[in-house]
Amino acid sequence: MSFSNLLNEVTYRDQRPSPANTNTTTHTDTRSQISRARSYASTAATSVSISGDISSQLHGGYSHPLARAWQAERQLTKSMLIYPLFITDNPDEEEAIPSLPGQKRWGVNKLIPLLQPLIAKGLKSVILFGVPLDPNAKDALGTAADDPKGPVIAAIRILRKAFPRLFISADVCLCEYTSHGHCGILHDDGTLNNQLSVDRISDVAMAYAEAGAHCVAPSDMNDGRIRAIKLKLIEGGLAHRVVLMSYAAKFSGCLYGPFRDAAGSQPSFGDRRCYQLPPGGRGLARRAIHRDIGEGADIIMVKPATQFLDIISDAKEIGKDLPIAAYHVSGEYAMIHAAAKAGVFDLKTMAFEATEGILRAGASIVVSYFTPEFLDWLET
Ligand SMILES: [Zn+2]
C-alpha cells in the first residue's frame, strides 16, 4: 500500500461519524493525519498496533554480541569447569586413550608439566580418577583405593604442593580397584552389600580428604554413603574444609564406554543397573537428590549431562540453595569428536552449544574433557 493510499484511508476512517470526531478538518488536523499515517505505515508491516502489544519486537535486544551474551542466565566461565584426570600407578605413564580423543592416562610424575600451562591459562579445578594398571592391584574389597602410595593419594599430595590454588576433587568409588569391577563390596550372590560398601567407601573418602583433597565426590551410588561420609568428615575434624559432592543422579547407560576403557573399570559380570538409575527414572532421580541433600551433600551432580537436562533442571529446582554440577561424560565428548570428524558440525561450536545447554538447564559446574580447549576458547 502506497503512502498516499494510506493517508487517504486514514482520512476516510477519521471522517466516519464518531463522537470524538465531530469538527471540520483544519490545517492542524491534516498534519496529525499525516503523522498517524506514518505510524500506521511503520506498524502495519509487522501487524502490530501502536497502542497494543509490541512483544514481537525482540531483535533489538540481541543484535550486539554482548547483548546476546546477556541473554544467558549463566555465562560459561573458566571457574565453572572441572577437568577429569586419569592417574595410573605407573609414575611415568603418558598413554593416549583411543576412545577419548586428546585424553591420556597420566603417571604422577607427568602431572606438573601437564597442568602448569593449563593453570597459567586459568584452569581452576581437576577431578582425579585412579587407574591401577598393576594386575595384582585389584581385589574383592578394592584395597588399593586408599593405598597411601596409590595414584590418587600421591597425586593429591603432589598437586597440593605444586599448585596451592588448584581446587582438587577426588572421585570416590571402588570399581577401578575391585577384581569384579563393581562399585562396592558384594554378597556371595553378586549383589551389593550395602552396609560393607558404605563403610568402605566412606573410609576411602576420608583417606582422600586427609591427603588434602578439597572435595570428595562419591560416584558409587550405594544408599546412605553421603551420610556416612559426612559423619566421618565431622568426626575426623575435616567437615569444615572439605566439599562433599554427590553423584546423586547418576544414570546407567552406554555413554560411559570410553571412560571404562580409560579407567579399566568394566564389570567382570553383570552391569550396574541395580544401583545406577534407570534412564527413564526421573522421579527416582528426584528422590535421590532430595535424599542426598538431606544427608549432607554440598553439591549435587547429574551424570550424564546432555541427555538428562530435565534432571539438571529438577536438581536446580530441588536444590535451589546449593550448586549443581553436571558431568559431560566420556561418551558425550567422544560423540562430539566423532561427528565433528565426520563433518557433521564444527567441534568448537558444538562444544559450546552442549555446555551452554547444560548451564541453561541449571548447572553452574561442568566436569568436562573439553576444559583445556575452553581455556583457550574463552580467551577470544
Ligand atoms: Zn564405580
CATH number at residue 128: 3.20.20.70
- Give the Å distance between the CA of 282 and the centre of ligand 1: 21
Instruction: Please tell me whether residues 221 and 301 are part of one structural domain.
Output: yes
Tell me: do 44 and 190 sit in the same domain.
no
β-bridge partners, 251: 277
DSSP letters, 324-344, are EEEEE-HHHHHHHHHHHHTTS
Same-domain status, 192 and 264: yes
Catalytic residue among 110, 124, 303, 316: 303
pTM of the model: 0.86
Same domain, 12 and 95: no
246 three-state secondary structure: strand
Provide the annotated binding site for Zn(2+). Answer: 173, 175, 183
**DSSP code of 86?**
E
Is residue 67, in this structure, part of any structural domain at all? Answer: no
Query: Into how many domains does the chain fold?
Result: 2
* DSSP-derived secondary structure letter, 186: B
175 CA distance to ligand 1 middle (Å): 4
Binding-site residues, in ranges, read 173, 175, 183, 260, 272, 330, 369
- Residue pair 205/153 in contact by the 8 Å Cβ criterion: no
Is there a single domain that holds both residue 38 and residue 170?
no
**Continuous H helices in 105-224:** 111-120, 151-162, 194-211
d(CA 23, CA 320): 63
Active-site residue flag, 250: yes
Q: What is the pLDDT of residue 29?
A: 56
Shared domain for 17 and 125, answered yes or no, is no
In a domain, 104, yes or no: yes
2 Cα: distance to centroid of ligand 1 (angstroms): 72
Span from the CA of 373 to the centroid of ligand 1 (angstroms): 27
Tell me, what's the pLDDT at 260?
A: 81
| Shared domain check, 341 and 297 | yes
pLDDT for the residue numbered 4: 44
Known binding-site residue numbers for 5-aminolevulinate: 260, 272, 330, 369
How far is ligand 1, taken at its centre, from the CA of residue 267, in Å? Answer: 9
Could you tell me the distance, in angstroms and rounded to a whole number, from the CA of residue 218 to the centre of ligand 1? 9
Tell how far the Cα of 128 is from the centroid of ligand 1, in angstroms. Answer: 13
| Residue 53 is assigned to a structural domain of this protein | no
Tell whether 42 and 158 lie within a shared domain: no
Helix residue ranges, H only, 164-304: 194-211, 225-235, 257-263, 282-294
- Ranges of residues in the chain with a pLDDT under 70 are 1-55
Assigned domain for 357 exists: yes
pLDDT of the residue at 1? 43
Domain that holds residue 203: 80-377
Separation of CA 300 and ligand 1 centre (Å): 17
In this structure, is residue 71 part of a structural domain? no
From the candidates 124, 138, 230, 250, give the one annotated as an active-site residue: 250
In this prediction, residue 15 carries a pLDDT of 46
Q: Is residue 352 part of a domain?
A: yes
212: exposed, middle or buried (C-beta count within 10 Å: 0-12, 13-18, 19+)?
A: middle
CA dihedral 259, 303, 187, 169 (to 10 degrees): 70
C-alpha distance from residue 274 to each of 50, 140, 182, 278 (Å): 61, 19, 11, 9
Q: Is residue 61 part of a domain?
A: no
The three grid cell numbers given for residue 58, joined into one nine-digit string: 525482540
Q: Are residues 236 and 369 in the same domain?
A: yes
pLDDT for 22:
42
Residue 303 annotated to the active site: yes
Question: Hey, how many other C-beta atoms are within 10 angstroms of the C-beta on 84?
Answer: 24
361-376 tens-digit pLDDT: 999 999 999 999 999 9
**Residues 199, 309: one domain?**
yes
One domain for residues 331 and 285: yes
Q: Extract the C-alpha cell encoding 15.
A: 471522517
58 in a domain, yes or no?
no
Question: Is residue 130 located within the same domain as residue 233?
Answer: yes
Q: Phi and psi of 356, rounded to 5°?
A: -65, -30
